[in-house]
Structure 1
Amino acid sequence: MHDHPEALVLAYRGKAPQIHPSAFIAPGAKIIGDVEIGEHASIWYNCVLRGDLGPIRVGARSNVQDGTVIHVEGPRIGAKGEVLPTIIGEDTLIGHMAVLHGCRVDDRAFVGMGAIVMDKAGVLSTGMLSAGALLTPGKTVGAGEIWSGRPAKPMRALTPEEIAGMAEQCDHYLEMADHHRGLANVG
């Protein structure tokens, strides 16, 4: 049994999710297989983190917002091939309904609402992928850059105020997680 009774936390092929006791896992979240969630991270309502073909890592204090889907790329069952884990660093923002697949999002980076990050793509520290953007395979958002569009392309450098704003949003989600921990079902 796990400490998140209203979330679905499942072992897959002998690998059970490892969730730090201080992490917030919202009701309705689904966490399967080789998934590690760091200290004070938050996984919000109706997120799916499916580490069946390879590992998923979510760093300390990062937040994965409502409806996000995170998966990995790996060999088909019984086949050999490259495993592409999905690695999310520390103090990272993953916006509502994002899709991350076999990619990397570094410390203090931001993936906007509805954005897609595909295989071997990445967002470097303090980089931002805007809402609705599509980061195609192998592309990398540079540190302190904002990329936008489908396919995503570099737009400009972020201002120091925008980078500070991302850190403030991370702090906001730490506080929100504490408030949501105590919610009771009134239905």
Structure 2
Amino acid sequence: SLHASIFAKAQSMAPFAALAHCAAVLRRRATVDDVTEEDWDIQIDINLKATFFLNRSAYHSFRSAKTPGSIVNFSSQGWQSGGFGGSVVYAASKGGVVSMTRGLARSFAPSNVRVNAVAPGGVDTTMMRGGQDDAALAAFVAMIPMGRLARPDEMTGAVVFLASDASSYMTGTVLNVSGGQLMY
């Protein structure tokens, strides 16, 4: 497969100990009645299907190298909230990432490959700002106790922690990095 060949090539250049899979697409903000099959397919393919196949390829790479490994997937606070402002398909795909992360964590653990996820809240990106007017964005930010969107680089610490030996006994964990947006 394409994913396996990418990992084989990467592993031949330099062994790696971790995969951070940060893919996300919110094709467009749409009410439930306005979601098209194309909207659904694109978001599920990129956010969920690609995550599965990349995780599996990384797992096989770690296992064949007989090395421990860490996989960090990106979910979203949407997995807990169901999404805001026309993002129900995005939220569903990211909920799938959480469930899959936990299932893969259980499956890969005997080979010493850990699988965890980061669940960002609102991050100041083009995707976050896309398709929203200023009032909708302000209402969203008002729900965040820290009173602002995260900077993309504020996700780095969570990823580094989950990829490192500092979290060597953690697998199937979802770290919320949300400025307090949702607290569960």
TM superposition score normalised by structure 1: 0.26
* Larger Rg over CA atoms: 2
> Would you tell me which structure has more helix in proportion to its own residues?
2
Which structure carries more relative contact order (alpha carbon 8 Å, separation 6+)?
2
TM superposition score normalised by structure 2: 0.26
